[in-house]
Structure 1
Amino acid sequence: MELQMCCKKYLLLLCVLFPVLLFGQVRISGKVTDEATKEPLAFASIIFNNDPKQGITTDINGNFLYNSSKPVTMLKCSYVGYQDVVMPVGSNTQNITIALQFSANELNEVVITPGENPANRIIRKVIANKDANNPENLSSFSYRCYNKVTFDLKGQKLKDSIEAKNILKDGHIFMMESVTERRYVSPDNSEEVVLATKVSGFRNPSFASLATDMQPFSFYDDNIPFLNVNYLNPVSRGSLNKYRFTLQDTLYADRDTVYVISYKPLPRKNFEGLTGLLYINTNKYAIQNVTATPYEKGKIDLRIQQQYVYTPEGYWFPQQLDYAMELNNYPEPGSGMMVQGKSYIDSVAINTPINKKDFRVESVWIKEGAAQKDSIYWANVRNTPLESSDITTYRVIDSIGQKNNFDGLLTLMEKMVKGRVPVKFLDIDIGKTLVYNKYEGFRLGLGAYTNERLFDKVELGGFFGYGTKDYEWKYGASLNYELSKQHEFTVGLKYQDNIVEVGEHTFKFPEFSYYDFRNVIASRFDRIREESFTTAFRALRYTKWNVSLSHAKVTPKYEYTFTGTNPQTFRYTNTSLGVSMRFAYKEKIVQSFGQRVTTDLPYPVLYVNYTRGLGGFIEGDFNYNKIEAIVQHTFFTKNFGNSTFRAEAGYIDKPLPYGLLFTGEGSYDNDVKVIIKNTFQTMTPYEFLSDRYVNLFTTHNFGGLLFKAGSFQPHVSIHNNIGWGSLENTAFQNPQNFDYKIKDKLYLETGLQLDHLLKMNYLNIGYLGFGAGAFYRYGGYAYDSFNDNLALKLTATFSIK
């Protein structure tokens, strides 16, 4: 009897607890999408049983998961700019799809109420706490990140064409994945290593997608850069005078409240602004979620989404980063391309000991073997399994890539960036093959060097060419050996019978450019027969060095009289030892496309060159010391634009021939009227001669901050250039074929540059902009006539808007 009573008690207890146990297992999952586009809607809010405190938001992919200990009979889903959806919850609670319809009334208008706008009060607190919430203000952190980028075509015509050819049915046109590990030590020491990379169509990709390719790591910097345009962050100081904030919704998460605030630029405020949503958590008034897109659209539309998580250490840290880039009329009008990137951050460690001395020179580098990871590795690191469209993409594009040698095309791109074109075992040097200047005319010839397909560490090659105007051949050969790729340590031998412009800088760190109009207008040259030995290397992390020993027999291609010599053309031998240094503190270097690429220079860059003339050594005619230095920097100021300055100076202590002195700093030419940076726009190329000088070139680009009228948005730049020089050691009489001046008074010029006065659509991805600049010469060397002091020049630029 007692046993029977005990069983009845347990049975009664089970009957009482069963509903609780049953309802405790209620698990509701699904996805919120745009009804028209089928795209997921990140951070949509869902409340259950009409109880605001029983609510969640979707993640960055529009997914949601809700566990309840109470019965759930209905849900309400809302998202700013969309119509609310209310629906019953039946027995089917898994994989629910909620499709929201876009509303014509995208954002609620501000309702004027007594007192301060409540959204402004919240944003004021966010701004006050932004430094504490910025993850890059932590003493250190590390994390792992999985990145996935897909490319898809928009427009039925292109899709039908692809499917008709059976190229990519139900797949992407391109896809890439990567796994990275990042370490960071405050204030700005960062290293990210690519552990694995996989790109459709390529066996050995030399590039990788990263979490910060198209957006910043966090949404706390004053300026948010998108495609080389700096947008004002809505939570930067002073943003309350620039943006309109509207409180759209109030959500609840455990003990905290989440405010959903929309933002967009205030009317008649002239700045580069964003629009989107901020989800502000009252726990530290931090950003929990954010969406952002440029308020003014261009040919390329970009939107970003970020999701943060509150860590056990008590900090808000990025968890998911997402971007979508749309080219609405590329590759042809009526069609487009969509690029979507998703990054998932895990294995976060905060304020753990990290030795920044162990960081490599590169801020981002690819680990050896990163492209050879097997399917088991990828299955373990992916946050979500590949979808059928992803699998199709790899299968089809890999086959096409192998058939069409995509890896060979990648090699071509890597070479083209450096100004070379690979042809089997040789690289054709464009800079030695396509040459034009006013002295030679066109140089018909060829420059070719061996590449890694023949020798891994050795480069052997040369050039030759014939001037169509001076009717002379030029040629040369060189041998270079790479001792250490990590330290950029090379040694080389060179011989050339060539021409060099008089007064050239002797720095050994040229920046490659496919065109340099300053070289085009060059007209005064020396002929040299030179043998040289050079070694270059990187030392002290941010410093590059170049040491050279040169022996050159020089024949000026102009006539003048040098003291104590035959008054005919003066020939001489210059034997010299040169040491060049480039110091770029904290420069950000990325290892990509088979080379090191500088992507950011946060501090001024210093160039110093010292040349010692070795008179009496290997027939050298002159003992002298020659020092040159340059400091240059470009920086952005919030609400003000980009500023650039370049200060340069030179000093020579002994009398030297004309070709070894300083000249060539002007760029005014009647035939080539374009703005050439870091030169005097109103000065002719060889107008002044110096053995010591100081120049300062400054430019401030307001961008479109000063004037906007619809699509007419000229960019305004102000130039101010100052120069001084002297010729203390004159060792030659007046030249017979040309005159020169000494600028021992201040040379001054000011210019106004207007870019984008005219814009032309370029491949439906941006605009070619054409503009003009006017420069005026004044100071100690101004002419009497106003027109003689004025120089009008043209500009050409590219922009996405």
Structure 2
Amino acid sequence: MKKSLLIFILLFSSIAAFAQQTISGVVTDKQTKESLPFANILLSESKGTITDAEGKFVLNLKKGTTSIRISYIGYTTLTVPIDNNTTYLKIALEPSQESLDAVVLYNKENPALQIIRDAIKRKKENDPERKLNTFKLNSYNKLLVTANPDSINGQIDSIYTKKDGKLVFKEVDSSNYSFKKDMTRSHIYMTEKVSEVSFSSSKGKREKILATRMAGFKEPIYEILGLKIQSFSFYKNEYDLFGTSYAGPLANNALSKYNYKILDTVTNNNRDAYMIYYSPKKKGKTSGLEGILYVDKQSYALQKAIAEIKAVIDIKAVQNFEYNQTFEVWFPSDKEINIRKGKTDDSVSLLGTTINVQRGTTPQDSTKTVSTNKQDASDFVYLSSKTKNFDLSINKEVSIRGRGLAIEIDELAHDRSEEFWNQYRTDSITKRGKETYVVLDSVIAEEGVEKDIYLARKLLKGYYPTKYVDLDLRYLLKYNNYEAFRLGLGGVTNANFSTKYRLNGYGVYGTRDKDFKFGVGGAARLDKRTNTWFGMSYTDDLVETGSSTFITDRRAFSLFEPRLFNIDLFYETRRLTANIEHQITAKTHANLMLSKSNIESTYDYGFVNDNEIFNAYEITEAIFAVQWNPFSEYMQTRHGRSEIKKGFPQFAFQATQSLKDVFGGDFNYTKFDARIVHEIRPIDKGVTSFLVKGGLGIGDIPISHLYHTSPNNPNKDVLLQRFSIAGRNSFETMYFNEFFSDKYAMFQAKHQFKPFKITRGFRPELTLITRFAIGDAENIERHLGQEFNSLQHGYSESGFEINKLFAGFGLSFMYRYGAYHLPEFEDNLSFKFTYYFSLGF
């Protein structure tokens, strides 16, 4: 097995058990010959299956079964005899006027719509997470990537080439034979997981993973554990499948998203249910959900739900509910999801990205090779995930420490004994399953896949790992107009060194200013659950004049930072800090910092304060910041806390107070900063993002601590001389050092369209951008040696980017207009290139 294929499967797949085929068939309309989706195929009143969206079915039969019954609303129910030799049935149903009368459209309205309205209206009474005060359960999940060996033609294949219109033998191909042999021995991949799920109406739902095992890995791939393969239930406004959120069929606005149709009535747990088919009203380029809802006739709760996606990849998700008589609630009992190769070219959204293919057609005469075995092994590979809930307790005391944490992984979860697993397995491990662990443990260890994944994970975060220290790639090479090339090295200790303590440091050298800068620091963890750290650091480095950051911002890594290339206004700072960071909740991160800075400008500047001119000064600051991401989801592992689902909007707030005469501080001022980031990512459409940011400064603030709203236009006279790299959230037409403010507000809106599919390898992306900023600066005359304007009249620019024209590179065009429009047309233009790094998935 090739290493690259295995890594792809592990990182972007989930996985499962196979079912043997006994009898298959298709159900159609006898008159129109059209297939009938989701028709009932019954062995008894409560056992059977339904046809899929194409009218096809597969049914496992017990010994002695002599007939099956097919029912579909609007058609005459048909009983079909079968015998031991029956393998395939083509069943044609006769439309029935009598059955149609049962679903007369009262007031000219589809009766399914009123049933769905009632189901939506009564969600509060039926959704376990809204009806119940608490619940707790255990669940067992098994995921496989596999194929049914009985479906594979394992004959040795002969490959021929065409020559002068004749077939000439080329070679023997045993790939199908080997594949069938491998599938008879083991699955392609396998994982297991045991979880404890707790819920309280005050603290929400928490999954604690008690045990996890991924074939070949000593420690699990946490990114996969954090992936939401399937939602807990169908009652939410969004239903998640493999990291993508779809509008739920019982969402509050579901009637505007889906069409509904009554198919039949069925019985489950001695209670009748409406069987309602739903499908998207609008068919986009990316497939949406369709399926069946089994709605209880008495309570309008869900007895069962099915969601399917038919595209380049077919996905089918099934969830069953059991009725709890004591609490009068239908509670999720088990769920299953299956993925296999699709039969259409329709795109599908998985893991937050769109997957599509372009199937080329090759003229028959131009085919150079011919195979005797027409089977493609990939047609038989599928992924499946089964989860069974058990040991359910309702409305009993539940302990959930902290708030907002979606997943918590026990530190011993990856090292459980076989006895522990046997206590929780609801589905026994077959001989093939056991052999899968043996085979994959050997293959992955031999090829070093676990090490490669660990390295890839670190590199994506900007680190190169060694045994005890992760080298920080941010410091290797940068460029700006003051230092020219900035060369250096940095690092931070990792979990192998300690999970309770960390040390970090860096050193850099500027080739133009010929000066060495450095920083050192350390921190100790005071509380693991609240992720509370106390740290101290010292830096002797340069800081961009007018820049402002939120101290709660997480570490960000990019190959290069576009704005740095053109910055030339820096101040030197020697800064000592002490800080405490703390998770108020999993979604609310706070940081309190006290700092003492000695500041000296690298340019001609003086600040007038109390009749004294300060060329160099000292600042003592107390800073408190909060980052709140209410719609994100987080996971706690033994390595720390990570965001497993980025939700929007996100909010940040920061308050700064400088302290005059405290530790030698020269000035007294107060600053308040706020930021809101929001993204809208509808399926089959582009991405719309918004950034709102502002700051208010009161008191004696030198230019180093004013605001500049991120200008990114070099101070050159000719347009092409200003050709450089466009930033992400910067004003591209605003010249460096043109504006400084002590109060400001800025707004940015972007809309990134879906890529244009010009050719298979050429898919440029168009992004429309508009930005606006307004601000003011009091007593500009106090700032000597630097001339600048405020933003009191409002600054505007708009334009667009055409990204990924070649190897991630694109072009940016922006135009400056409004109150600060310049007399020369060319001076209002910005023409730059862009670069967006992509991993290709």
C-alpha separation in 2, matches of 1:35 and 1:584: 49
Residue 314 of structure 1 is matched in structure 2 by: 328
The letter for the 1-side match of 2:728 is: I
C-alpha separation in 1, matches of 2:731 and 2:455: 37
Report the 3-state secondary structure (helix = DSSP H, G, I; strand = E; otherwise coil) of the residue aligned with 1:215: coil
Residue 47 of structure 1 is matched in structure 2 by: 42
Residue 688 of structure 1 is matched in structure 2 by: 739
Deviation at 1:182, TM superposition (A): 1.3
Report the 3-state secondary structure (helix = DSSP H, G, I; strand = E; otherwise coil) of the residue aligned with 2:433: helix
Q: 1:56-205 maps to which residues of 2 (within 5 A)?
A: 56-57=48-49, 73-76=66-69, 86-88=80-82, 115-117=108-110, 119-120=112-113, 122-140=115-133, 141-152=135-146, 160=175, 163=178, 170-186=185-201, 189-205=204-220
State which drifts further: 336-345 or 596-605: 596-605
Deviation at 1:509, TM superposition (A): 2.0
Report the 3-state secondary structure (helix = DSSP H, G, I; strand = E; otherwise coil) of the residue aligned with 1:363: strand
Report the 3-state secondary structure (helix = DSSP H, G, I; strand = E; otherwise coil) of the residue aligned with 2:551: coil
C-alpha separation in 2, matches of 1:311 and 1:79: 29
Residue 597 of structure 1 is matched in structure 2 by: 642
Contact 2:409 2:638 in 1 (8 A): no
2:433 aligned to which of 378, 390, 395: 390
Residue 215 of structure 1 is matched in structure 2 by: 230
C-alpha separation in 1, matches of 2:147 and 2:602: 58
C-alpha separation in 1, matches of 2:385 and 2:741: 55
C-alpha separation in 2, matches of 1:186 and 1:751: 47
Contact 1:147 1:344 in 2 (8 A): yes
Deviation at 1:569, TM superposition (A): 11
C-alpha separation in 1, matches of 2:840 and 2:275: 30
Cα deviation digits, residues 454-489 of structure 1 (max 9, x gap): 344333342222234444332232232223332322
The letter for the 2-side match of 1:134 is: D
State which drifts further: 554-563 or 783-792: 783-792
Q: 1:240-251 maps to which residues of 2 (within 5 A)?
A: 240-251=255-266
2:673 aligned to which of 628, 635, 639: 628
Cα deviation digits, residues 698-752 of structure 1 (max 9, x gap): 4567879xx999999998876554322111143545646xx52211122234556
Residue 15 of structure 1 is matched in structure 2 by: none
Query: For residues 417 and 263 of structure 1, do their structure 2 counterparts lie closer, same or farther at Cα, with a shift above 3 Å needed?
Result: same
Deviation at 1:315, TM superposition (A): 1.8
C-alpha separation in 2, matches of 1:86 and 1:176: 40
C-alpha separation in 1, matches of 2:677 and 2:489: 34
Contact 1:145 1:181 in 2 (8 A): yes
Residue 275 of structure 1 is matched in structure 2 by: 290
The letter for the 2-side match of 1:728 is: E
Instruction: Provide the alpha-carbon RMSD of the alignment.
Output: 5.1
State which drifts further: 373-382 or 478-487: 478-487
State which drifts further: 500-509 or 597-606: 597-606
Report the 3-state secondary structure (helix = DSSP H, G, I; strand = E; otherwise coil) of the residue aligned with 1:511: coil
Residue 481 of structure 1 is matched in structure 2 by: 524
C-alpha separation in 2, matches of 1:88 and 1:363: 49
Query: For residues 366 and 432 of structure 1, do their structure 2 counterparts lie closer, same or farther at Cα, with a shift above 3 Å needed?
Result: same
State which drifts further: 510-519 or 402-411: 402-411
Query: For residues 649 and 415 of structure 1, do their structure 2 counterparts lie closer, same or farther at Cα, with a shift above 3 Å needed?
Result: same
Contact 2:23 2:60 in 1 (8 A): no
Cα deviation digits, residues 305-324 of structure 1 (max 9, x gap): 22222222322222222223
Deviation at 1:552, TM superposition (A): 2.9
C-alpha separation in 2, matches of 1:100 and 1:251: 25
C-alpha separation in 2, matches of 1:279 and 1:205: 37
1:512 aligned to which of 542, 545, 555: 555
The letter for the 1-side match of 2:143 is: V
Cα deviation digits, residues 122-149 of structure 1 (max 9, x gap): 5454444444433332233322211122
Cα deviation digits, residues 294-337 of structure 1 (max 9, x gap): 46x46x66442222222223222222222234578999998767
Name the TM-score, length of structure 1 as normaliser.
0.76
Q: Which runs of 5+ in 2 are unaligned?
A: 1-18, 26-36, 94-99, 158-172, 343-354, 360-375, 715-721
1:431 aligns with 2:481: no
Q: 1:575-724 maps to which residues of 2 (within 5 A)?
A: 575-585=620-630, 588-592=633-637, 594-600=639-645, 605-634=650-679, 644-668=689-713, 670-674=722-726, 676-677=728-729, 679-699=730-750, 721-724=771-774
Residue 318 of structure 2 is matched in structure 1 by: 305
1:779 aligned to which of 807, 818, 840: 818
C-alpha separation in 2, matches of 1:260 and 1:196: 37
C-alpha separation in 2, matches of 1:442 and 1:338: 51
Contact 1:137 1:186 in 2 (8 A): yes
Contact 1:580 1:607 in 2 (8 A): yes
C-alpha separation in 2, matches of 1:104 and 1:798: 51
C-alpha separation in 1, matches of 2:333 and 2:227: 13
C-alpha separation in 1, matches of 2:302 and 2:174: 39
Deviation at 1:391, TM superposition (A): 0.8
C-alpha separation in 2, matches of 1:751 and 1:496: 39
1:498 aligns with 2:549: no
The letter for the 1-side match of 2:422 is: A
Q: 1:395-414 maps to which residues of 2 (within 5 A)?
A: 395-403=438-446, 408-409=451-452, 411-412=454-455
Deviation at 1:385, TM superposition (A): 0.7
Cα deviation digits, residues 110-168 of structure 1 (max 9, x gap): x9997544555554544444444333322333222111222348999999399589988
Query: For residues 365 and 689 of structure 1, do their structure 2 counterparts lie closer, same or farther at Cα, with a shift above 3 Å needed?
Result: same
State which drifts further: 117-126 or 518-527: 117-126
Report the 3-state secondary structure (helix = DSSP H, G, I; strand = E; otherwise coil) of the residue aligned with 1:574: strand
For these two proteins, the number of residue pairs brought into alignment is 735
Report the 3-state secondary structure (helix = DSSP H, G, I; strand = E; otherwise coil) of the residue aligned with 2:594: strand
Residue 348 of structure 1 is matched in structure 2 by: 392
Deviation at 1:446, TM superposition (A): 1.2
Report the 3-state secondary structure (helix = DSSP H, G, I; strand = E; otherwise coil) of the residue aligned with 1:391: helix
Deviation at 1:348, TM superposition (A): 2.6
Query: For residues 258 and 513 of structure 1, do their structure 2 counterparts lie closer, same or farther at Cα, with a shift above 3 Å needed?
Result: same
Q: Which runs of 5+ in 1 are unaligned?
A: 1-29, 37-41, 91-96, 106-110, 761-767
The letter for the 1-side match of 2:322 is: V
Residue 414 of structure 2 is matched in structure 1 by: 371
C-alpha separation in 2, matches of 1:249 and 1:797: 51
Report the 3-state secondary structure (helix = DSSP H, G, I; strand = E; otherwise coil) of the residue aligned with 2:538: strand
Report the 3-state secondary structure (helix = DSSP H, G, I; strand = E; otherwise coil) of the residue aligned with 1:573: strand
Identity of aligned residues (%): 27
Residue 454 of structure 1 is matched in structure 2 by: 497
1:535 aligns with 2:580: yes
Residue 9 of structure 2 is matched in structure 1 by: none
Deviation at 1:545, TM superposition (A): 3.1
C-alpha separation in 1, matches of 2:557 and 2:771: 26
Query: For residues 43 and 331 of structure 1, do their structure 2 counterparts lie closer, same or farther at Cα, with a shift above 3 Å needed?
Result: closer
C-alpha separation in 1, matches of 2:609 and 2:282: 74
Name the TM-score, length of structure 2 as normaliser.
0.73
Contact 1:675 1:773 in 2 (8 A): no
State which drifts further: 589-598 or 776-785: 776-785
C-alpha separation in 2, matches of 1:100 and 1:513: 57
C-alpha separation in 2, matches of 1:194 and 1:133: 27
Residue 463 of structure 1 is matched in structure 2 by: 506
State which drifts further: 624-633 or 329-338: 329-338
Report the 3-state secondary structure (helix = DSSP H, G, I; strand = E; otherwise coil) of the residue aligned with 1:201: coil
Query: For residues 620 and 123 of structure 1, do their structure 2 counterparts lie closer, same or farther at Cα, with a shift above 3 Å needed?
Result: closer
Query: For residues 220 and 495 of structure 1, do their structure 2 counterparts lie closer, same or farther at Cα, with a shift above 3 Å needed?
Result: same
Cα deviation digits, residues 49-89 of structure 1 (max 9, x gap): xxx7475448999887989xxx9642347899xxx994546
Cα deviation digits, residues 154-194 of structure 1 (max 9, x gap): 99999939958998863233322111111222377121111
